Structure 1
Amino acid sequence: MSHDALFQLGMDSVVLNTAQKEETVAPQPVLAVCEDKDHFIEKDGVLCAGSHLIVDLFEAERLDDLPYIQKTLVKCVEEAGATLLHIHLHPFEPNGGVSGVAVLAESHISIHSWPERGYAALDIFMCGDAKPELCIDVLRQAFVPGRMEVQELLRGRSA
């Protein structure tokens, strides 16, 4: 990408801090997907692409513990019956916040944390046979939030 293109995106002055260590999990092989199945689901009588959970954690713990966050995201994927393709997490200094995503064959789980405020924002979107709602208890047990808010959006709803 050219410098001009980066400038247009507002990224011309971005400087990466190479002292910050990022964590990744190697890509996993994925089984072939049946060509005739589009992985839309029916939920509560509604045909849709999938369930997208918007999760807010307040007064939560361990939001700066990158290996722990990675382990928790992997457990979410396993509990939901999803297929992990890749995890990428990035720590921020000086507050220790973490941003990252678990890329799934069924879509993704993302997190952005503010440990200094005890707050984390997560998006959990899954299609097909995966059950994103099973991630809620995993997150509750892992981060012990004083308060947790969950909203569900049914994405790609058929009219």
Structure 2
Amino acid sequence: MKGLHLTADLYRCRCEPAWLTDAARLGDWCLAAIASVGLVPVQHMFHTFPRTGDGPGRVSVTVLLAESHVCLHTWPQERSVTCDVFVCDVGGDLSAQARGLMTALVERFQPEWTEQRSLDRGEEA
């Protein structure tokens, strides 16, 4: 069950506002980014939450991978995003793919600053 879990909290994102509010647009882009690093999506859900008194609704994008999962959650009123990429080393080391995907996600949102973490999960067999 060895794997790599990457997280990033993105603040004051300078991307186009639609990337924070349009679940279908963000989800479709995310599927393409996943494929571009060689990971395999097997199921997905893209959801836009209702508008609130604070502004447009948040977006959640979740993609189940053959190798594990990717989750994104946006806070448009704060121009913030959380990103979660987890890959299990099924058939080999997938850390380069996970890191490549996280780089693409961060670049998509153009944050002023990020807080990123990396966690090695499980044990060697």
Structure with the larger helix share: 2
Corresponding residue number in structure 1 for 2:113: 147
Q: Report the 3-state secondary structure (helix = DSSP H, G, I; strand = E; otherwise coil) of the residue aligned with 2:21.
A: coil
TM-score of the two chains, using structure 2 as the length reference = 0.79
TM-score of the two chains, using structure 1 as the length reference = 0.64
Q: Per-residue CA shift, 1:62-87, capped at 9, x if unaligned?
A: 21122221123113312331111011
> Structure 1 stretches (4+) deviating beyond 6 angstroms?
none
- Percentage identity across paired residues of the two chains: 29
**1:158 shift after superposition:** 4.3
Pick 1 or 2: higher relative contact order, CA cutoff 8 A, min separation 6: 2
Aligned length: 112
Q: Which has the larger radius of gyration?
A: 1
Which of 66, 72, 75 is matched with 1:111 structurally? 72
Corresponding residue number in structure 2 for 1:50: 3
Contact 2:27 2:61 (8 Å CA) reproduced: no
Q: Per-residue CA shift, 1:110-132, capped at 9, x if unaligned?
A: 11111110111111001234320
Question: In the aligned structure 2, how far is the partner of 1:120 from the partner of 1:108?
Answer: 17
- 5+ residue gaps, structure 2, are none
Q: Report the 3-state secondary structure (helix = DSSP H, G, I; strand = E; otherwise coil) of the residue aligned with 1:71.
A: helix
Contact 1:83 1:105 (8 Å CA) reproduced: yes
1:135 partner letter: L
RMSD: 1.9
Q: Report the 3-state secondary structure (helix = DSSP H, G, I; strand = E; otherwise coil) of the residue aligned with 1:63.
A: helix
Question: In the aligned structure 2, how far is the partner of 1:101 from the partner of 1:77?
Answer: 12
1:50 partner letter: G
Question: In the aligned structure 2, how far is the partner of 1:80 from the partner of 1:55?
Answer: 18
